[in-house]
């Protein structure tokens, strides 16, 4: 069953066709990988889905409703969360605060109402207790050491920052998580940890649209793979179909 369906999406920047008439779907409970050489249009496609930029043409339907032109906060509330190619976290805030911000994107709870318990208020106290559970469950889910919970994120290692960024996205309880190069800058052991986190996320019911250049890792984790080149759809299939696909060899090896 489809979770997201993108139809005939096009986007040009001046004379450059960054995305040219691309259609695809993300199914429920799957990891769909989006691969292609540098400049293929992968990030642009994520930016179009999440309304960071507007398409020239095309439609996106999510959970059977059009999300064309919807504000980004509405898209998050409907169930699409993302991370960014350039690691984007609130560097001067703590890991906990980053996760609260992700959670508040869906619930509307603000930082003050969660943490300020000096003036006792029963409802506020209940909210804080229920949020504390969400927070600690997520910290455990992404395998972040609890000792870092109140550390400013700029003092954490890259893998821990990535854990925080993913926890922040997951805190909005998405049905679809968009990950743009989550393995970049990680060593092999760390990359395996993030791959395991993706498998756990999928097992918990969240679909993933994954962009990454680490093709071995991508093939090991995804159910389907879609290939883009120069903004054009090239092909789509299971990892084993894509590995030996003639067109993919042309794109990557110039054969
Ligand atoms: N805001 C923009 N203004 C002008 N050109 C842009 C803009 N965003 C992207 N492009 C161009 O569109 C093309 C696709 O870029 P995009 O970032 O989507 O590629 P990508 O597949 O994510 O590449 P990479 O693997 O290097 O991240 C590139 O030629 C890029 O220079
Ligand atoms: Mg990119």
| Candidate of 19, 35, 44 to mutate for ligand 1, largest count of ligand atoms within 8 Å of Cβ | 44
Question: Is there a single domain that holds both residue 103 and residue 154?
Answer: yes
Question: Is there a single domain that holds both residue 210 and residue 181?
Answer: yes
Residue 67 has pLDDT above 50, yes or no: yes
- Determine, yes or no, domain membership for 32: yes
Residue 95 or residue 132, greater confidence: 95
Residue 107 has pLDDT above 90, yes or no: no
Looking at the 3D structure of the chain, how many domains does it have? 2
Q: How confident is the model at residue 125 (pLDDT cuts 50, 70, 90)?
A: low
Cα 230 to ligand 1 centroid, rounded to whole Å = 10
Question: Is there a single domain that holds both residue 199 and residue 254?
Answer: yes
Cα 32 to ligand 2 centroid, rounded to whole Å = 16
Which ligand 1 atom is nearest residue 37's CA?
25
Least confident segment among 18-27, 42-51, 242-251: 242-251
Question: What is the pLDDT averaged over residues 190-216?
Answer: 97
Question: What is the pLDDT averaged over residues 224-244?
Answer: 96
| Domain boundary residue, one of 136, 168, 200 | 168
| Domain boundary residue, one of 168, 191, 218 | 168
- Determine, yes or no, domain membership for 208: yes
Residue 119 has pLDDT above 50, yes or no: no
Which ligand has the minimum distance to the alpha carbon of residue 18?
1
Question: Is there a single domain that holds both residue 73 and residue 182?
Answer: yes
Residue 98 has pLDDT above 80, yes or no: yes
Which ligand 1 atom is nearest residue 181's CA?
27
Cα 44 to ligand 1 centroid, rounded to whole Å = 6
Question: Is there a single domain that holds both residue 184 and residue 247?
Answer: yes
Q: 43 CB under 6 A from ligand 1?
A: yes
Question: Is there a single domain that holds both residue 60 and residue 182?
Answer: yes
- Determine, yes or no, domain membership for 87: no
Question: Is there a single domain that holds both residue 100 and residue 150?
Answer: yes
- Determine, yes or no, domain membership for 209: yes
- Determine, yes or no, domain membership for 84: no
**What's residue 126's pLDDT?**
67
Question: Is there a single domain that holds both residue 71 and residue 96?
Answer: no
pTM of the model: 0.92
Question: What is the pLDDT averaged over residues 215-234?
Answer: 97
Write the CATH number for 181: 3.40.50.300
**What's residue 10's pLDDT?**
98
- Determine, yes or no, domain membership for 86: no
- Determine, yes or no, domain membership for 151: yes
| Domain boundary residue, one of 119, 146, 168 | 168
* DSSP string for the chain: -EEEEEEEEEEEETTEEEEEEEEEEEETT-EEEEE-STTSSHHHHHHHHTTSS--SEEEEEETTEE-TT--HHHHHHHTEEE--SS----TTSBHHHHHHHHHHHHH---HHHHH--SS--HHHHHHHHHHHHHHHHHHHHTT--GGGTTSBGGGS-HHHHHHHHHHHHHTT--SEEEEESTTTT--HHHHHHHHHHHHHHHHTT-EEEEE-S-HHHHHHH-SEEEEEETTEEEEEE-HHHHHT-HHHHHHHH--
Question: What is the pLDDT averaged over residues 85-94?
Answer: 86
Predicted confidence (pLDDT) per residue in 127-137, tens digit: 666 778 888 99
Question: Is there a single domain that holds both residue 159 and residue 236?
Answer: no
Question: Is there a single domain that holds both residue 65 and residue 99?
Answer: no
Which ligand 1 atom is nearest residue 36's CA?
21
**What's residue 117's pLDDT?**
47
Cα 19 to ligand 1 centroid, rounded to whole Å = 9
Q: 13 CB under 6 A from ligand 1?
A: yes
Q: 42 CB under 6 A from ligand 1?
A: yes
Question: Is there a single domain that holds both residue 68 and residue 189?
Answer: yes
| Candidate of 9, 12, 41, 82 to mutate for ligand 1, largest count of ligand atoms within 8 Å of Cβ | 41
- Determine, yes or no, domain membership for 85: no
Domain of residue 124: give its range: 92-168
Question: Is there a single domain that holds both residue 220 and residue 100?
Answer: no
């Amino acid at each position: 069953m489809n979770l997201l369906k993108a139809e005939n999406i096009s986007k040009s920047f001046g004379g450059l066709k960054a995305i040219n008439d691309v259609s695809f779907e993300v199914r429920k409970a799957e990891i769909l990988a989006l691969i292609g050489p540098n400049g293929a249009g992968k990030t642009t496609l994520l930016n179009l889905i999440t309304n960071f930029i507007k398409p020239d043409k095309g439609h996106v339907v999510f959970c059977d409703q059009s999300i064309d032109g919807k504000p980004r906060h509405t898209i998050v509330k409907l169930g699409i969360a993302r991370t960014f190619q350039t690691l984007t976290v609130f560097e001067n805030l703590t890991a906990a605060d980053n996760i609260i911000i992700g959670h508040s994107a869906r619930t509307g709870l603000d930082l003050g109402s969660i943490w300020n318990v000096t003036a006792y208020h029963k409802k506020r106290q209940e909210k804080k207790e229920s949020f504390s559970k969400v927070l600690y469950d997520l910290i455990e889910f992404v395998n972040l050491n609890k000792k870092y919970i109140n550390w400013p994120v700029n003092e954490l290692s890259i893998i821990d920052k990535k854990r925080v960024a993913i926890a922040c996205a997951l805190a909005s309880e998405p049905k679809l998580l968009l990950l743009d190069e989550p393995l970049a800058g990680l060593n092999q052991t760390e990359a395996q940890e993030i791959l395991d986190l993706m498998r756990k996320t999928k097992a918990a019911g969240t679909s993933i649209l994954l962009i990454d250049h680490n093709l071995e890792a991508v093939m090991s984790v995804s159910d389907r793979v879609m290939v883009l080149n120069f903004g054009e759809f090239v092909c789509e299939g299971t990892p084993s179909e894509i590995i030996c696909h003639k067109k993919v060899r042309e794109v990557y090896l110039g054969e």
